[in-house]
Structure 1
Amino acid sequence: MDMRRLALPMLLAAAGLGLWMLLAGAESLFGLDLGSIGFAVLVLSAWGALHGVWRLSLTDAELQVSPAEWKAWIGTAFMAAAVAYFVARMHVFQTPSLADSPEAQQVGRNLVMLLVAWTVLSSTVGRRWKDRVQEDERDREIEREAAGWSRHAVTGMIVVLAVLLGISPADRLQWASLPMIANLLVLVLMVGCLVDNGASAVRHWLDRR
């Protein structure tokens, strides 16, 4: 069987394994940090897919997808993984000080590296379409609509969080340490970015149907 046909399923399986390691409840396996291993597997899978795509010539199907849509789908995938990982690890931020929590520091490092990998990957993928128009009026209109959805999502989540903290009795807010509240606000921004990219990707896809 042509190895090229097996490459994509293998990379998808590896990415799924890496994501599972990031989200797994166990902190370590045989003394190794699962989060760090999962992050490495996920990023290497993405780079492997990028390398394979880079070596192939542009197909007719690929040419129908604008560079802006490709970037939106990549952003959606990476932000979905980052949000899922952040939510699965939120319990580590229930600490009076991040300096006293190595687990929280590790989660923060993994998230930063995941977002850096997304930025670098998006920039590198853009070079594949360097000879094409990167953005037209249609792309800008979709970007404005997606930004609107993102603003509504961020506003709604901030209102919900403010109401929750404002009306809850003090004895039920033991979970709301300062690091937890700060990271909840970071999560709100991340979800807003996910909505932005997701809405843009879906709108592009619907326009092509």
Structure 2
Amino acid sequence: MSLPRLGFVGLAVVAAFATWLLLAGPVRVLGVDTGNAGVFLLMTAGWGSLYAISRLPDGGIGVAMSPGEWRAWLGLAFTLVIAAYAIVHAPVFHGPPLWHNPDANRIGRNIVMLLIAWAILARVLDARWRRGVQRDERDREIEARGAGAARLALVVILVGYALLLSFSPSERLDWAVPPLLGHLLVVALIVSCAFEYLVVGLGYWRDRH
């Protein structure tokens, strides 16, 4: 196995371990918050992936996949992990307001850190690749389809929320407290971003094949 491939396998193992810490790991190990550790490891895997891609032939652009496809698949992986983390830990938001709920504060802080980490990584990817590759009509068409899919996904999720809240008996809505509803709106935005990256990635993949 070549050294670059070993590097990608190692990064995949780190990302998988970070995902386990975020989704199913214990709350603390040796006094360390595993959520914070998972966020740090996932950010490390993301930046490591950027470095590994930059070491590929053709100046880091890669000979098999276009820059837009690299960005889409990395974005899909990040957003799926963030969405899964937000969904798994949604029950902690069923309680008092955030300033009286330390568990919800911790989960919310980790979600924000993951979103900021991906936003910074995406900007670095764009800046690096924009210097070497010019976007063409194909890129714009695929990105437009991705943006349309994200809008459609967001509309469907929000309409689903509205129907659920409108047609459920009031005695079955004791779960719908404001902190949880706000959290579910954030989840809807994250899931819509995941749909965008998925459609963009598939668009490049189909074009490549």
TM-score under structure 2 length normalisation: 0.91
CA distance in 2, matches of 1:60, 1:95: 47
Q: Which residue of 2 aligns with 1:132?
A: 133
Aligned residue for 1:176, secondary structure, equals: coil
Partner SS state of residue 175, structure 2: coil
- Could you list the structure 1 runs, at least 4 aligned residues long, displaced by more than 4 angstroms after superposition: 1-5
Distance 2:18 2:146 in 1: 29
On the 8 A contact 1:12/1:45 being kept in 2, the answer is: yes
How far the C-alpha of 1:25 sits from its partner, in A, is 5.5
Post-superposition Cα deviations, 1:34-78, rounded to whole Å, max 9, x if no partner, equal 111111111112222222332343289923532222222221111
Question: Are residues 131 and 60 of structure 1, via their aligned partners in 2, closer, same or farther at CA, if it must alter by over 3 Å?
Answer: closer
| Contact map agreement 1:98 1:179 (CA 8 A) in 2 | yes
Question: Could you tell me which residue of structure 2 aligns to residue 67 of structure 1?
Answer: 67
Contact 1:96 1:178 in 2 (8 A): no
Taking structure 1 as the reference length, what is the TM-score of the superposition?
0.91
1:29-44 alignment runs, 5 A limit: 29-44=29-44
One-letter identity of the residue aligned with 2:81: A
The answer to whether residue 119 in structure 2 is matched with residue 102 in structure 1 is no
Which ranges in structure 2 are unaligned for 5 or more consecutive residues? none
Q: Could you list the per-position Cα deviations for residues 149-171 of structure 1 after superposition, in whole angstroms to 9, with x for gaps in the alignment?
A: 22221111111111111111222
User: What is the alpha-carbon root mean square deviation over aligned residues?
Assistant: 2.1
- Residue aligning to 2:112: 112
* Structure 2 Cα separation of the partners of residues 117 and 60 of structure 1: 21
C-alpha contact (below 8 Å) 2:82/2:114 kept by paired residues: yes
Q: Tell me, which stretches of 5 or more residues in structure 1 are unaligned? A: none
Tell me the residue number matched to 1:143.
Answer: 143
Change (3 A) 1:127 1:158: closer
Contact 2:53 2:60 in 1 (8 A): no
| In 1: Cα distance, 2:10 partner to 2:60 partner | 24
Q: Aligned partner of 2:205: which letter?
A: W
2:206 matches 1:206: yes
- In the TM superposition, residue 4 of structure 1 has moved relative to its aligned partner by 4.4
Matched-pair identity in %: 39
8 Å CA contact 2:57, 2:63 repeated in 1 = no
